[in-house]
Structure 1
Amino acid sequence: MDLVRQFDGERSEEEAIHAFLGHHPGSFEPEWLRRLIRQSLLPKGILIYAHQDPARVAVSSQPKRAFLFLKLPIFPPSVVDVVAQWLSFMFQWPALLCGALLFVASHVYVYGVLIQERHVDFNQLNAAGILLIMLLSTLGTICHEFGHASAAAHYGCRKMTIGWGLYIIYTVLWTNVSEAWKLPRRQRAMIDIGGVYFESLFLLLTLALYSETGNLVFLFAFVMIDLNIVMTLNPFLRMDGYWLMSDLFGIVNLRKQQTAWLEEIAAKLFGNGSGAPRSSLSERAKWALGIYSVAGAIFLIYLLTVIFKFVILNVAGAYPAMLQAFWHDALAGMTALELLGGFFEIFWRSLMLLGAAVMLLSLGRRAIGMVARVGMFRAAAQQRGV
């Protein structure tokens, strides 16, 4: 705000920056202030050029499709706003506390009791079970998006849309909460976490269905949806976790700051740090981001271990015999419906194994990249005689 006050309608950008630094010598680099003006204050309409119409500022120039190849609205504001306002009471502190306690209790029960006691065999699932898991996962994702909208409605946002999009090869849902940028950072952070909050409550439904029926489909759905939640909270992807950390600590360009910080750490470990980019993250933000990332990585590794043990190994172990049986039955004669059902059984198992292979390949490539980067720091350190 002190910087904004220097724009009196007569000063240029450089003159305003110079005047600001005159009141706050050494507080900020001029280039950082220029980026703040051009990347935030002007796009958001906090500052405007003399020739601009004040009624038309802060209108995003981003293409409608943006990073999505397809972007189709599903629920219009006339639906989203009504539902979101009706559910906005869930973001009052008593409801939030109750939701947090239920989240912890359900996870302790599932991973501490059910997963340990039951012999979970993924091959027990048939095509109908897989379709049911996909349906439950989709419903959980819809709840996730209404969580964002309900949190935004709790803080007064309106005209929200929920839609479907295609990102690379993935189908995604999105929620337009454009009015949220006007809110304080902590309220924006609550909107960021609102989707996970509602999706976690949806987990309670799958757990209740499992307790009532004893059907392993609902237990598998719990684990699969949980994995989606953890991936959403990853602060290194542009998903909820990324925006949560950005809003909590007011970090602009969090991705670049993370990269600079990690390279800074590597340079300190394997060199003198002089060649690494300098991160502008505060010490508080670094500690919080570090703890958040480590805790998230530990839980993600645990979930992946559970899935690998109870899903991938089971499917891979039974896959050759299933292929042989399908081929034998096909040669012996099958109806078209039986052939289609058998093909689907093979198809979704093949997709799961392919997905596991791609994930392992991606992790391997990332590990090789990290080793290569460490090697670069070591080589640079040796050249400097460190």
Structure 2
Amino acid sequence: MTTTDATWTRPRLRAEVVLGPGQWRGEKLVHHVKDPETGWFYRVGPREHFLLSRMDGTRTLDDLATEYAATFGKRLGPENWQQLFGMLHQRQLLDGATDPAALARLTATAAEGAARTKRGPLSARWPLYDPDRFFDRLLPRLAPLFGWWFVLPALLVVLALTGYVALHLPALLGVVARGDRPLAAILASVVITWLIVFLHECAHGLTCRHFGGRGTEIGVMWRFPMLAPYCKVDDIVLFTPRRRVATAFAGVFVSMLALVPFAALWIWGAPGALHDLAGTMLLFGTATAALNLVPFLRLDGYYMLSHALNLADLRTDSYRFWGRLLRRGPAAVRAYRPRDRATYALYGLASLGFAVTLVTLLVHYWYVTLARWVGGGWAVAILVAEVLVLLAFAGWLARRRAAGTVRSG
């Protein structure tokens, strides 16, 4: 590799490399670094981010060392520079010091890693196309809709629609409970639901594009027991918390706005097949949006809460927090910020309460149903057998993940 002296004396990151703001991961603050050419996202600490953000080709190593010492109270030595430049060389992030073969290897490795995460018995993704060009053509026409003059009134409409559905829930349930709907109406509701879900995912991608990121992939996702479209917006980690929340909320927001015509048809339309279809869409559409906002499921509401708190992975880090606390006591979590200790503790307890309540209701419902079919004794036996099968399946998944981790390491 041939480089100029300026590459090392006045280092500069490649122009396309993007540095993201800090997010808390447990007790540590992390920053994401994106290399669009290879597709890699890297995590660095605040000290590395401080240096990388100043590598613009105008500062010498002495300048960087002086600024670093003024901020962190420590002078960088030769071994520190060697370690930093070794990382930058390995990841091919320095301008004027890249190797095409190394970049190709990094690109291939990123693609292989993405492919490994797309298949599994409980979740899988099948990419269909890259929507970036489509979003680029569409965004200029929709850009005015991102202004507060539209967002605020539309949000009030969504809140009013939600209140209306809640107040008229018995009437809407009555429409859905009827068993005399024709097959055409059922198929129409399924097709319309899928179209709204597609709009939901496009809203995530367009909002991400509006804030300067990319929606790199649209496809179909399997997440047991649901099959639905998805839009991949990895660049969200490069946004500020407010923009991350807006990107996560955009899907539910557009889904609810898509129900406004059905609300008008339900309120002012004449009784008939279309009126019943409107009621069905209002009920299921609002219920789906509400489910999306539950912060204990890995859906939009969970990500909105994580982003609002500026936490990288609220659920995983809450479990890790409780694991440390239960195994080693309060001393093991003393390094966490006080706010985060409270957040992880409360979210972990609330998540456990939600899971226990949900499982209890499901088991009770399934037991009552089985008992009505086969009697109480057989119902208990079937439930025990199902629990054993689920435990065996969970053990198989754990072994498979452990084997995959060993192979990737």
| 2:253 alignment counterpart | 197
- The secondary structure found in structure 1 opposite 2:174 is coil
> Match of 1:152, SS?
helix
SS state at 1:172 partner: strand
> 2: distance between equivalents of 1:77 and 1:170?
26
Give the secondary structure class of the aligned counterpart of 1:120: helix
Kindly indicate whether the alpha-carbon contact (under 8 Å) linking 2:200 and 2:251 is maintained by their aligned counterparts in 1.
yes
Q: Which residue of structure 1 lines up, in the alignment, with residue 278 of structure 2? A: 218
**Could you state the TM-score of these two structures normalised by the residue count of structure 2?**
0.53
* Match status 1:94 vs 2:159: no
Aligned-partner residue type, residue 252 of structure 2: V
Q: Contact (CA 8 Å) 1:76, 1:161: kept in 2 or not?
A: yes
CA 116–168 in structure 1, closer or farther in 2 if over 3 Å, else same: closer
Choose from 154, 158, 162 the match for 1:107: 162
RMSD (CA atoms): 5.1
Note the alpha carbon deviations across 1:6-61, whole angstroms, 9 max, x for none: 5799xxxxxx9xx9799658xxxxxxxxxxx9xxx99998799x877797799645
Aligned with residue 120 of structure 1, among 159, 163, 174: 174
> Any unmatched runs of 5+ in structure 2?
1-45, 56-63, 74-83, 374-382, 391-409
- Retained in 1: the 8 A contact 2:201–2:231? yes
SS for the counterpart of 1:71 is strand
Partner residue in 1 for 2:310: 250
1:142 aligns with 2:198: yes
Secondary structure of the 1:251 match is coil
Mapping of residues 1-386 of structure 1, within 5 Å = 2-5=47-50, 24=72, 60-61=110-111, 62-64=113-115, 66-68=117-119, 69-73=124-128, 76-112=131-167, 114-116=168-170, 120-125=174-179, 126=181, 127-158=183-214, 160-211=216-267, 212-214=269-271, 215-260=275-320, 274=330, 280=336, 283=339, 286=342
Contact 2:211-2:243 within 8 A present in 1 as well: yes
Q: 1:22 to 1:208 in 2, by over 3 A?
A: same
User: Could you tell me whether the CA contact under 8 Å between 2:208 and 2:215 is conserved in 1?
Assistant: no
- What is the TM-score when the length of structure 1 is the normalising length? 0.56
Query: Which structure 1 residue ranges, 5 or more long, are not aligned?
Result: 10-15, 26-36, 306-311, 321-357, 366-386
Number of corresponding residues: 288
Q: 1:117 to 1:288 in 2, by over 3 A?
A: farther
Higher helix share: 1
CA distance in 1, matches of 2:149, 2:91: 34
For 1:43 and 1:155, the matched residues in 2 are separated by 30
Is contact 1:70–1:166 with CA below 8 Å preserved after alignment?
Answer: yes
How far the C-alpha of 1:163 sits from its partner, in A, is 2.0
* Aligned partner of residue 106 in structure 1, secondary structure: helix
> Post-superposition shift, 1:219?
1.8
Contact 1:84 1:149 in 2 (8 A): no
Cα distance, 1:152 vs structure 2: 1.9
Q: Percent identity?
A: 18
